[in-house]
Amino acid sequence: MSDVLETVATVLGILFVLLTVAALLVWFERRLLAVWQLRAGPNRLGPLGIFQTVADTIKLITKEDWIPPFADHVVFVIAPAIVMVTVLMAFAVVPFAPGLEIVELDVGLLFFLGMSSLGVYSVVLAGWSSNSKYSLIGGVRAAAQMLAYEVFMGLSLMGVVIQAGSFSLERIVEAQAGLWYCVPQVLGLLVFATAGIAETRRLPFDLPEAESELIAGYHAEYSGMKFGMFYVGEYLGITLVSAMVVTLFFGGWLGPWLPPVVWFALKTFVLLCGFVLLRATLPRPRFDQLMAFGWKVMLPLALLNLVVTGAFVVGWA
């Protein structure tokens, strides 16, 4: 009985923390983007402008909940929910500290990969059910891009798995106690980070929702809280990818005298800032350039990483 209570408490606690982080990210990203673009960003509402999220949420909630009459009603409403569900489910296996995870799966990594693949559905369904040209193009672009980049997302992680000897995220973190995997698996880190950015549809891979190209792409017909779900879902997605990069390549919660949870939070925070810096800096490639980059550059790199890691591990053993 106390196990159940403990699990429920952990679930609620992590959910609360995650949603707070996603909400704060709404303000933080705008502030950070502004700072890197020599502007000020939102600094009016509350101390340093922190209540910007509250204002945005109130605005989104009080908007008219309009479903286009030409859209597929059921799928239109479900699509943003799929984003939130898959990302939050993927957080169930992330180890925040030794013993602080919702469930300790032997195949945690596979679960994460599965959940991110399910996330593709949300975008495609959103684009398809909106029944409008720009949304459809955005959805189809998202499907092609996420499919292509997911192939080597899994492959790049196999190097980590080979070195750690397990798919379980806890074992992987513990196996990095000597040397973080960012050093031997540099290639894997780069490939996985690129794939992660493409999975969450962030710049420079945000063609599915490019404002200057596709109006708003797959979420063009969305307004109010449904759009808010996509928005918060994107921030949760980048938090998830940052958390996974930290877990798999930067030693998770490992670190000297600070408590492990603080180390995890610190490293994830640094990576989140990296995400925002990428958005502030990089221009958007053309779609064919994006796909060529994925299939012709990243996939061979991932395979190369796998071959070299395998050779090393087999050669040592």
Pick the binder of other proteins from 77, 140, 175, 278 (CB under 8 A): 278
Should residue 304 be labelled a site residue for other proteins when binding is judged by CB under 8 A? no
Phi, psi of 155 (to 5 degrees): -65, -35
Per CB under 8 A, which region of 84-92, 146-154, 274-282, 301-309 contacts other proteins? Answer: 274-282
Q: Would you tell me how many other CB atoms lie within 10 Å of the CB of residue 222?
A: 24
Q: Are 302 and 188 in contact (CB under 8 A)?
A: yes
Q: How many angstroms separate the CA atoms of 29 and 205, rounded?
A: 17
Q: Would you tell me how many other CB atoms lie within 10 Å of the CB of residue 225?
A: 17
Should residue 277 be labelled a site residue for other proteins when binding is judged by CB under 8 A? yes
Q: Are 298 and 147 in contact (CB under 8 A)?
A: no
Q: How far is the CB of 37 from other proteins (least distance, A)?
A: 7
Q: How far is the CB of 42 from other proteins (least distance, A)?
A: 11
Should residue 296 be labelled a site residue for other proteins when binding is judged by CB under 8 A? no
Contact track, other proteins, 232-271, x by CB under 8 A: ----------------------------------------
Between 33 and 140, CB nearer to other proteins: 33
Pick the binder of other proteins from 12, 15, 40, 74 (CB under 8 A): 40
- Tokens matching residue 225: 């809280």
Q: How many angstroms separate the CA atoms of 67 and 73, rounded?
A: 7
- Tokens matching residue 153: 């997302």
Is residue 257 classed exposed, middle or buried when 0-12, 13-18 and 19+ CB atoms within 10 A define those classes?
exposed
- Tokens matching residue 254: 């490992």
Should residue 35 be labelled a site residue for other proteins when binding is judged by CB under 8 A? yes
DSSP H or E stretch at residue 7: helix 2-36
Pick the binder of other proteins from 9, 16, 39, 300 (CB under 8 A): 39
Should residue 73 be labelled a site residue for other proteins when binding is judged by CB under 8 A? no
Per CB under 8 A, which region of 5-13, 37-45, 208-216, 306-314 contacts other proteins? Answer: 37-45
Between 254 and 271, CB nearer to other proteins: 271
Q: Are 254 and 262 in contact (CB under 8 A)?
A: no
Should residue 36 be labelled a site residue for other proteins when binding is judged by CB under 8 A? yes
| Interacting residue ranges for other proteins, rule: CB under 8 A | 34-40, 43, 277-278, 280-282
